[in-house]
Structure 1
Amino acid sequence: MSVYLYSGYLFEYGPLAVFLFFWIITAVIVYVSLRKLMNRVARILLSILLSFIFAVLLVANLYPLGLIILYLAYIIIYRFGKKKS
């Protein structure tokens, strides 16, 4: 599997460890970046969903598609998800 081409000790543990690692890291990044746009529950659910999709695509070695999906999701969220103040 070409995921093992990345360096680091984490990748010796297999695809599940890679999947969980990137799922958690991406969820935190998405959650923090959306803090001014949405309420807490929506941020948590959206960060779990987007990071899950990204982690699945990364483990399946389709991470460019995952980056495109994250980018399009951010465009949609920033365009239509702003709080009215």
Structure 2
Amino acid sequence: MKPLFIVHLRIRLITFEKKSIEAYGSFHLEVQELNGQENRVYVRWKQTSIHKGEVDGFAPTGKTEVEITSAVYQEESKIEEY
């Protein structure tokens, strides 16, 4: 059985990916850094896509967008899988 943290993280990522596909179609996602220790995981990724759908009220531009994002995920107990 997977830890509850992993299930919640995957649900958040699926929701994020669904919204991204609606706005940008296919996109390239590159994990640039991934570090984990005990109950925390740090991840930085680069997403390259083309603005094809409305985003926050902005009409599609057809331009390439590069977004570099990072997050720290933390759980009360030790993370067993990521």
TM-score higher than 0.5:
no
| Larger proportion of strand | 2
Give the TM-score, by structure 1 length.
0.34
Give the TM-score, by structure 2 length.
0.35
| Larger proportion of helix | 1
Highest CA radius of gyration, 1 or 2? 2
